[in-house]
Amino acid sequence: MRKKICTLIGLLLVVSLSLMPVFAAPKKITLSVVYYYTSEAARNVMDKIFSEYEAANPNINLEIQVTTQAKWPEVMKTRAVAGQLPDVSLTVPQRVGEWAEAGLLQDGTKYIPKNVLEKFDPVRCLSDRYDGKIYGLPANTTVRAVAYNVDYFKKAGIQVPTKASEAWTWGEMVAAAKKAQAASGAKYALQFEKPSFDGWLPFLYQAGGALFSKDMTKVAINSPQTRRALEWTVKLHEEGIAAPGIFEGTEDPLRTFASGLSTMWLGTGNWMMAALDPQMQHEYSFTFLPKDIQQATVVGGGDWIVLKGKYPKEAWDFVLFVLNQENMARYNSVHISIPPRSDVHAEYSVKPELAPFFMEQSRMVPEELMAHQLLPAYAAGRDKLLQELGACVSGQQSVDETIKAWEQILNDNLKK
């Protein structure tokens, strides 16, 4: 009897032990995520999306690192050297190529359903494509335009262009800004965007200049068109038409415009409205970037990329969750940007009436500008290009010296 009982207990033990893996809770996976936000509202939405993702995927735990857009390269490169890259990250379109080129990104071809990929704007997705593979998906699209002080322009009786085809020329725009300045008593007629070379790129391409040749094998920045764009920029500063300290980062462009010190803010865009709206002391609106020999703007935004790691499927699932219809609409609504999915409509939380305007401005991206700004040779040199621009605007070096320095920087990067 005792023998039978012992055999029975033994059998029960063997059966229960062999069934343990079947009934045991699945092993929890940790996905490491690096992202940044531009406003508290955007952060709140992202936090909510992350919580909902964890609730929907109880076996996945998100480990979030928040950084700033400016600090992103530093954070990611430090993590790369330490061998601790995250699984997923938000970045700017210009950065994707550099990371894809280094072979650190995870191809999403087999993880992104075809019917989902078709919904994404193919032009906007160019930033995530490299060597026939897709390494990320866009979360939002931002567009550079011109913010202007409505009160000042009304005082001066100036009508701003309401259609892209009616966009001012450089001369018309400066004349309008000067007239608004005279009527309002503003200290500066206009201001550039911020310490950013991306913010200056539209003017280079408006003048017919380019960073690279059409086939993107040579540097083409040393041209009469570049000289024209740069001389125009320097002259605006020398004559006190443009607010000082913006390219150099010693003056806050948001404060300069919001307080009414300047009548126009060139190269800022839809994403800035969330910060501008509560601080603006006057009525404001947007108009089109000017044209020289052509119209040009730069589109940017954020792209979610997946890095090579232990859980590529889960990482791509996470990206697809963050960029599903509902979440993309919520994010773009608070971020005040254009959703890059054709089946998503986002109601801007600030000035919703400007949404069609930004859509129209976003179509003014020259094809080659779009391609050039995505080249790693440009992304890796943006900070140095900006330093040279700052040196030229502050009178430390001539226009020719600056263009030669730009050519050298881009050539060095292209060779790499």
Partner 1 sequence: MRERFWRKSIPYLFLLPQLILVGAFALYPFIYNIILSFQKFSLTGSKFVGLQNYRELFQDRIFWTTLKNTLHYTLGTVPLTTLLALLAAIGLNQKIRGRAIYRTAYLFPNLISWVVIGLIWQWMYSVDYGFFNQILRRLGFSEVKWLLNPKLTIPSIVVASVWHDLGYYMVILLAGLQSISESYYEAASIDGANTWQKFKSITLPLLRPMLFIVFVLSMINSFKVFDQIYVMTNGGPGRASLMIVNYIISVALEEMKLGYASTISVILFIVIFVLTIIQKMIFKDKELEG
- Contact set with partner 1 (CB under 8 A): 73-74, 77-78, 80-81, 99, 102-104, 187, 195, 243-245, 247-251, 255-256, 261, 380, 383, 387-388, 390-397
Q: In angstroms, what is the minimal distance from the CB of 250 to partner 1?
A: 4
Whether the Cβ atoms of residue 53 and residue 86 lie closer than 8 Å to each other: no
DSSP at 30 = E
> What is the enclosing helix (H) or strand (E) of 98?
helix 93-101
d(CA 361, CA 357): 6
Q: In angstroms, what is the minimal distance from the CB of 409 to partner 1?
A: 11
Q: In angstroms, what is the minimal distance from the CB of 76 to partner 1?
A: 9
User: Between residues 236 and 296, which has the closer beta carbon with respect to partner 1?
Assistant: 236
User: Between residues 3 and 416, which has the closer beta carbon with respect to partner 1?
Assistant: 416
> What is the enclosing helix (H) or strand (E) of 172?
helix 170-184
Mention every residue, 6+ apart, whose C-beta is less than 8 A from residue 193. Answer: 144, 199, 200, 246, 253, 265, 266, 267, 268
Q: Beta partners for 149? A: 284
Q: In angstroms, what is the minimal distance from the CB of 240 to partner 1?
A: 11
Residue 200, both tokens: 């200056």
d(CA 345, CA 307): 29
User: Between residues 243 and 273, which has the closer beta carbon with respect to partner 1?
Assistant: 243
Token match 């380019």: residue?
210
User: Between residues 123 and 391, which has the closer beta carbon with respect to partner 1?
Assistant: 391
DSSP letter for each residue of 360-376 = HHHT---HHHHHHHTSH
Q: What are phi and psi of 67, to 5 degrees?
A: -135, -165
> How many other C-beta atoms lie within 10 A of the C-beta of residue 51?
11
User: Between residues 10 and 240, which has the closer beta carbon with respect to partner 1?
Assistant: 240
Q: In angstroms, what is the minimal distance from the CB of 263 to partner 1?
A: 14
User: Between residues 364 and 380, which has the closer beta carbon with respect to partner 1?
Assistant: 380
d(CA 357, CA 360): 5
Q: In angstroms, what is the minimal distance from the CB of 164 to partner 1?
A: 33
Mention every residue, 6+ apart, whose C-beta is less than 8 A from residue 313. Answer: 111
Q: In angstroms, what is the minimal distance from the CB of 78 to partner 1?
A: 7
> How many other C-beta atoms lie within 10 A of the C-beta of residue 78?
11
DSSP at 295 = B
Q: In angstroms, what is the minimal distance from the CB of 219 to partner 1?
A: 18
User: Between residues 323 and 414, which has the closer beta carbon with respect to partner 1?
Assistant: 414
User: Between residues 251 and 368, which has the closer beta carbon with respect to partner 1?
Assistant: 251
